Structure 1
Amino acid sequence: MNNNEEKSHKINILKEIKEYGISIVVALFLAFIFHSYVLARANVDGPSMQPTLHNNDVIFLEKLSVETNHIKRGEIIVFDSKNQNNDYYIKRVIGVEGDQVDIKDGKVYVNGNQIVENYLTPGTITEPITPKTAYKVGKDQIFVLGDNRSNSTDSRMLGCINVKDVKGHAVLRAYPFNQIRTF
């Protein structure tokens, strides 16, 4: 190789390295945006959502609806508990802004109507944990319950949850593989 060919070769290598570097940076940026605002992975820890979800299940959370404050009754969500351990809880949305949630005679009522909860184990009784049995869901809040009503720290204890603390809602159980399903 003569001197000009060697220089040209080095310049081409540097151009290629620069192009790969830019591609890697763009890919990392897009992955960060995707994870932050679109889809994230979470692990279920504990029995509070049984029989729907079990300890060590792996789920994926959709985050766009949270960013647009479009959370619906019945969705399974993950939220920051704001406790001293900074735990994240996974629960089911029962009431949204403006709803009146009542717990009486072992049943849950939203706006005066008993809700159908096919996801619960047959015969499940929902008991109030504190003397309070009626909850008015305020602005930018939701009321949540675990599917395992006898073993769940939820709105019966915590009160209504601020929608800003919601991290996403479950759209897919990815593990265990023999129980993959969408929500």
Structure 2
Amino acid sequence: MKKSVKEDLMFLVVKIMIFLALLGITFGIIFGICRVSGNAMDPACKNGDLILYYRLQKAYQAKDLVVIEKDGERQIRRIIAKEGDTVDITESGLEINGYLQQENNIYTDTLPYREGIHFPVTVGQGEYFVLGDNRTNAKDSRIYGTVKQEEIKGGVMALLRRSGMQ
């Protein structure tokens, strides 16, 4: 016996609904997409770039790019130090656990902000110290202090450059 057009159409609708549900679960629970706004991560991430991040990642290392939510806004920042590390920023630059850091791909000086936190800072349990790559224009841990694990939404997996795209 042949299936009716109505049955075929219902089967197609069910397949589309299942596909959309799986897509919703994938991008609602496992992965996230975020748009870079501003130049705080320049040159690694530029204004308008799209970031794909992994929401289930819970362990991070220094130099990892992460998406955080701070003061109601999503930001992309680089982890500089994790729990137990001592961060100091002086006129000489960024020091982690007493060692002056030589950072590749950071083209501006790392200096403390006048209105920010006081150094040195020891990163507490379940916390991270994050900085923007464009150190002169980034609102980061120098302003608001360490970031709690719960404020990190995920680790950056991929970057889609949008320069020139409308």
State the TM bucket, normalised to the shorter chain: 0.7 to 0.9
- Aligned-partner Cα distance in 1 for 2:17–2:102: 49
**How high is the TM-score relative to the length of structure 1?**
0.78
Q: Kindly tell me: are residues 39 and 117 of structure 1, through their superposed partners in 2, closer, same or farther at Cα, counting changes over 3 Å?
A: same
Write the letter of the residue equivalent to 1:170: V
**2:33 partner SS:** strand
By percentage of residues, which structure has more helix?
1
- Aligned-partner Cα distance in 2 for 1:56–1:13: 45
Maintained 8 Å contact 2:94/2:111: no
Which one of 126, 129, 143 corresponds to residue 143 of structure 1? 129
Partner of 2:45: 53
Q: Deviations over 1:43-94 (max 9, x none)?
A: 11111111222211222222231xxx1122111111111x2xx211111110
**How high is the TM-score relative to the length of structure 2?**
0.85
**1:90 partner SS:** strand
Which one of 8, 31, 35 corresponds to residue 27 of structure 2? 35
Partner of 2:60: 71
Which one of 93, 98, 109 corresponds to residue 112 of structure 1? 98
Q: Kindly tell me: are residues 174 and 108 of structure 1, through their superposed partners in 2, closer, same or farther at Cα, counting changes over 3 Å?
A: same
Which one of 96, 101, 109 corresponds to residue 125 of structure 1? 109
Gaps of 5+ in 2: none
Partner of 2:36: 44
Gaps of 5+ in 1: 1-7, 179-183
Q: Kindly tell me: are residues 106 and 54 of structure 1, through their superposed partners in 2, closer, same or farther at Cα, counting changes over 3 Å?
A: farther
Q: Identify the range of structure 1 (17-26 vs 72-81) with the bigger mean alpha-carbon deviation.
A: 17-26
**Structure ID, larger Rg:** 1
**1:92 partner SS:** strand
Partner of 2:13: 21
Maintained 8 Å contact 2:117/2:144: no
Question: Sequence identity of aligned pairs in percent?
Answer: 28
Aligned-residue RMSD, C-alpha: 2.1
